């Protein structure tokens, strides 16, 4: 029995095209993102300038919904901690 | 004592068992507080889940202690590790069992118009031209594994699960997808379609 794939929704097609359009020859992967996300989150929150390594993390986040989900959660914790200080 | 005043790496490795246990308890409580803020309002996360995530996160942090490089606060790094561990578990639970055969079979359809319709995002000539060129690129450039991984990811399957089904790890899995996107982009550029053209045509 064959399993026919469901048609992609417009938002899935848009996401796929966006990812291809934004593709670079060199990209940070999820492992690099996890290694650097704490520093990235602190610098973004304080408005500090990002070096090239952290800019590559920002690019990775634009392509990876799972790392973005984790970054948003971390940001929420840091913001809450900051408000509680 | 404020959590930031600790030299965490030192006390978590302390030969003094009492000091080490105290640090672990303090870190576990800190992780639990953060996880509650980040995940506490989710319907699929209970108090017991949060406790488990904090404990699992703590174990993972102890395992990765050598990897902390001091470029952020230790507590921020620790929260990022605990969140990564918790989200991996939540994603795994949310997605049912899928076989490799089903995944590969679905991927075979990615280049077909029934799966990737010309008018997905609009019917203007330029838009249809780009989608049609993308389908051709998918058919010509990608391996069956790459097609399966792309379709599964677009369908929301957790990346860890996609990698596990394809018998690879997360780093190699990311490379598989990155190589696929690079091939598609190159193919489109050879056909005269740049990344900027795509963003412009679809306002993405």
Chain A contact for B68 (CB, 8 A cutoff): no
Report whether A18 contacts B203 (CB < 8 A).
no
Check CB contact under 8 Å for B73 and A42.
yes
Chain B contact for A1 (CB, 8 A cutoff): no
Q: What per-residue confidence (pLDDT) applies to B106? A: 84
More confident: A18 or B99: A18
Q: What per-residue confidence (pLDDT) applies to A1? A: 42
Enter the ipTM: 0.91
**What's the token pair of residue B70?**
């001091």
Residues 152-191 of B with CB under 8 A from A: 154-155, 158-159, 170-171, 174-175, 178, 181-182, 184-185, 188
C-alpha to C-alpha distance for A28 and A30, rounded to whole angstroms: 7
Report whether B102 contacts A3 (CB < 8 A).
yes
Instruction: Say which residues have a Cβ less than 8 Å from residue B31's Cβ, sequence separation at least 6.
Output: B53, B54, B57, B58, B78, B79, B82
Instruction: List chain A residues with CB under 8 Å of B91.
Output: 66
Chain B contact for A26 (CB, 8 A cutoff): no
* Single pTM value for the model: 0.88
Instruction: List chain B residues with CB under 8 Å of A30.
Output: 159, 170-171, 174
- Of the candidates B170, B185, B87, the one whose C-alpha atom is nearest the C-alpha of residue A29 is B170
Let me know the angle formed at the C-alpha of B180 by B122 and B197, rounded to the nearest 5 degrees.
Answer: 35
Q: Using one digit for the tens of pLDDT, what is the confidence trace for B87-132?
A: 999 988 877 677 888 888 888 888 888 888 777 666 678 888 899 9
Tell me the shortest Cα–Cα distance from A29 to chain B, in angstroms: 6
Q: What per-residue confidence (pLDDT) applies to A3? A: 57
Q: What per-residue confidence (pLDDT) applies to A6? A: 78
Q: What per-residue confidence (pLDDT) applies to B149? A: 94
Q: Using one digit for the tens of pLDDT, what is the confidence trace for A43-68?
A: 999 999 999 999 999 999 999 999 99
C-alpha distances (whole Å) from B50 to each of A13, A20, A46, B79, B81 are 35, 37, 28, 13, 14
Which chain B residue's Cα is nearest to A32? B171
Tell me the shortest Cα–Cα distance from A58 to chain B, in angstroms: 16
The domains located in chain B, with CATH, are: 3-94 (1.10.1740.10), 100-202 (no CATH)
Instruction: List chain B residues with CB under 8 Å of A28.
Output: none
Helices A52-63 and A65-84: crossing angle in degrees, nearest 10, is 120
Instruction: List chain A residues with CB under 8 Å of B95.
Output: none
Instruction: List chain A residues with CB under 8 Å of B117.
Output: 7-8
Q: What per-residue confidence (pLDDT) applies to B3? A: 61
Each domain of chain A, given as residue ranges in start order, spans: 29-84
> Which ranges of chain B have pLDDT less than 70?
1-5, 96, 120-123
Q: What per-residue confidence (pLDDT) applies to B123? A: 67
Position of tokens 């966006």? A18
């Amino acid at each position: 029995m064959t399993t026919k794939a469901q048609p992609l929704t417009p938002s899935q097609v848009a996401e796929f095209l966006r990812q291809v359009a934004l593709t670079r020859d060199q990209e940070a992967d999820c492992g690099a993102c996890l290694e650097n996300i704490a520093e990235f989150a602190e610098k973004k929150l304080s408005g500090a300038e990002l070096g090239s390594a952290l800019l590559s993390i920002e690019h990775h986040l634009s392509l990876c919904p799972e790392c973005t989900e984790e970054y948003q959660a971390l940001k929420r914790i840091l913001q809450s901690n900051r408000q509680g200080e | 004592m404020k959590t930031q005043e600790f030299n965490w790496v030192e006390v978590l490795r302390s030969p003094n068992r009492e000091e080490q246990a105290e640090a672990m308890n303090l870190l576990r409580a800190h992780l639990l507080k953060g996880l509650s803020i980040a995940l506490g309002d989710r319907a699929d996360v209970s108090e017991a889940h949060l406790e488990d995530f904090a404990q699992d996160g703590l174990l993972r942090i102890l395992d990765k202690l050598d990897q902390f490089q001091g470029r952020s606060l230790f507590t921020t790094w620790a929260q990022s590790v605990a969140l990564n561990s918790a989200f991996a578990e939540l994603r795994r639970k949310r997605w049912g069992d899928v076989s490799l055969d089903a995944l590969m079979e679905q991927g075979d359809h990615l280049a077909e118009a029934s799966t990737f319709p010309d008018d997905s995002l609009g019917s203007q000539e330029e838009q249809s031209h780009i989608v049609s060129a993308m389908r051709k690129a998918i058919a010509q450039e990608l391996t069956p594994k790459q097609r399966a991984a792309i379709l599964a990811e677009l369908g929301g399957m957790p990346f860890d699960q996609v990698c596990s089904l394809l018998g690879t790890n997360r780093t190699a899995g990311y490379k598989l997808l990155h190589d696929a996107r690079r091939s598609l982009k190159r193919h489109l550029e050879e056909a005269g379609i740049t990344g900027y053209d795509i963003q412009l045509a679809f306002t993405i």
